[in-house]
Amino acid sequence: MTAEESGAPEAGHAEPQHGYSPNKDNYAKRLRRVEGQVRGIAKMIDEDKYCIDVLTQISAVNSALQSVALALLDEHLGHCVSHAVAVGGDEAEQKLAEASAAIARLVRS
Amino acid sequence: MTAEESGAPEAGHAEPQHGYSPNKDNYAKRLRRVEGQVRGIAKMIDEDKYCIDVLTQISAVNSALQSVALALLDEHLGHCVSHAVAVGGDEAEQKLAEASAAIARLVRS
Amino acid sequence: MTAEESGAPEAGHAEPQHGYSPNKDNYAKRLRRVEGQVRGIAKMIDEDKYCIDVLTQISAVNSALQSVALALLDEHLGHCVSHAVAVGGDEAEQKLAEASAAIARLVRS
Amino acid sequence: MTAEESGAPEAGHAEPQHGYSPNKDNYAKRLRRVEGQVRGIAKMIDEDKYCIDVLTQISAVNSALQSVALALLDEHLGHCVSHAVAVGGDEAEQKLAEASAAIARLVRS
């Protein structure tokens, strides 16, 4: 694998391979559930549900999204970043910097 | 206003009054946008988009939901909790304990 | 109690009364422990300890400080904010806005 | 470099090399400042300072510690994890799993 390929794995590939690709169905399912939860929160507000109960649901959605993010990140480090590191050079530097920036956004969001 | 009314404002009221009630449209709009963002994240994964870009979107959704939660909490403290405190007694204690627990969940989620 | 007194409880008082005042010893003890933990982290780095172990300690300190903050906030809502709300007026508005801003800082830090 | 060396870099080394080693002085300085801030918070409580001001300081300490943690993690990924990945095998797997667990603790703390 060349650095170019690992840098833009989807370009011109019949089967793009991200770390998360084998688990796409699992992510799709988790995100559909999150989407339903968000719709449920909107409904709770529309029906004047008690504020504290709305907040509990929001905390639940944030936890669910954090779990998705941590799983994606784990697979990204184990595939995309690892491939770039094995290749070395600028590609590796860039992937590592990118991953660190994404981690910082997660920690601070 | 009695403690019972402030404790369960929706029961038997034609127009339930929560702190957030006057801003329901605003919340509905923000949550519809969040729902669209979550659907967008599912689509990104389905289309094998780059993992870091997915993570950026998840951080954005978490920030948006936190803002909604903080706004709801602010209105809850200013209305529901304040009414209970003005009435005093067990009602006040309970509302304050409930608000603190919700804050802890938000801080830790 | 006047609004001025609840607004600046320490001014001219022999025994200032904050929500947390009765538990000062407990907070002092918890913060001494946190201070020791931070010194321990500095020592770990000085002794070239393994990075992951340092990160574990930092997460522990953050959790300990969050617990202190949530306990202080709980007492602040139950005393200072509640007094201001009972008095009403600008004082109440200001205390509520201040508490919401502090909650937002905690959620986002 | 062998997997054993990257796995336990301090064992039997005159100059242990962690990712953070070249910046030890910088971390020492930042942690001394954090330690002083924690001592300052204890003093604020001892002197009955206003609760909101104490909370502001706690948020500042948490942010400072998060920045230290993110910098350590960035260097850990760029050195220790990258070396293990270059070597491959169980060592790489273990380092990646360990890093993901540390990231999860940071995001959730």
How many CB atoms within 10 Å of residue B29? 12
Domains and CATH numbers, chain C: 24-108 (1.20.58.1000)
Res D109: pLDDT: 84
Cβ-Cβ contacts under 8 Å, D62 against chain A:
none
- Binding-face residues of B in 87-106 toward A, CB within 8 A: 98-99, 102, 105-106
User: Which residue of D21, D51, D109 is in closest CB contact with C63?
Assistant: D109
Is A74 part of the contact surface with chain D (CB cutoff 8 Å)?
yes
Q: Do D68 and C80 touch (CB under 8 A)?
A: no
Q: Which pLDDT belongs to residue C16?
A: 56
Q: Do B65 and A62 touch (CB under 8 A)?
A: yes
Q: How far is CA D90 from CA A1, A71, B16, D2, in A?
A: 21, 20, 60, 12
Q: What pLDDT does residue A19 have?
A: 79
| pLDDT-based confidence at residue C18 (cuts at 50, 70, 90) | confident
User: Using CB atoms, which chains have 3+ pairs under 8 A with A?
Assistant: B, D
What is the Cα–Cα distance from B38 to A61, expressed in whole angstroms?
Answer: 11
Distance separating alpha carbons of residues B22 and C11, to the nearest angstrom: 39
Q: Is B106's CB within 8 Å of C108's CB?
A: no
Q: How confident is the model at residue A2 (pLDDT cuts 50, 70, 90)?
A: very low
pLDDT tens by residue, B39-62? 999 999 999 999 999 999 999 999
- Residue-level pLDDT at D14: 44
- D48 sits in the region (left: phi over 0; alpha: psi -120 to 50; else beta) called left
What residues of D are in contact with residue C41 (Cβ under 8 Å)?
31
Neighbours of chain B (3+ CB pairs under 8 A): A, C
- D51 vs B20: which has the higher pLDDT: D51
Q: Do C62 and D66 meet the contact criterion of CB atoms below 8 Å apart?
A: yes
Q: Quote the DSSP letter at residue B8.
A: S
d(CA B101, CA B11): 24
Q: What is the mean pLDDT of residues C64-73?
A: 97
Instruction: Enter the ipTM.
Output: 0.83
Alpha helices for A15-108 (secondary structure H):
24-46, 51-76, 82-87, 89-108
Give mean pLDDT, residues A42-51.
95
Is the pLDDT at B30 greater than 70, yes or no?
Answer: yes
Mean pLDDT of chain A: 87
What per-residue string of b and e applies to A82-100 under the rule 16 or more CB within 10 Å gives b? bbbbbbeeebbeebbebbb
Say whether pLDDT at B6 is over 90. no
pLDDT band at C8 (very low <50, low <70, confident <90, very high): very low
C49 close to C58: Cβ distance less than 8 angstroms:
no
The pLDDT value given to residue B8: 44
pLDDT tier at A16, thresholds 50, 70, 90:
low
Q: How confident is the model at residue D16 (pLDDT cuts 50, 70, 90)?
A: low
Predicted confidence (pLDDT) per residue in A92-109, tens digit = 999 999 999 999 999 998
- Model confidence at D1, pLDDT cuts 50, 70, 90, reads very low
Q: Say whether pLDDT at B74 is over 50.
A: yes
User: Does residue B90 surpass a pLDDT of 60?
Assistant: yes
- Mean pLDDT value across chain D: 87
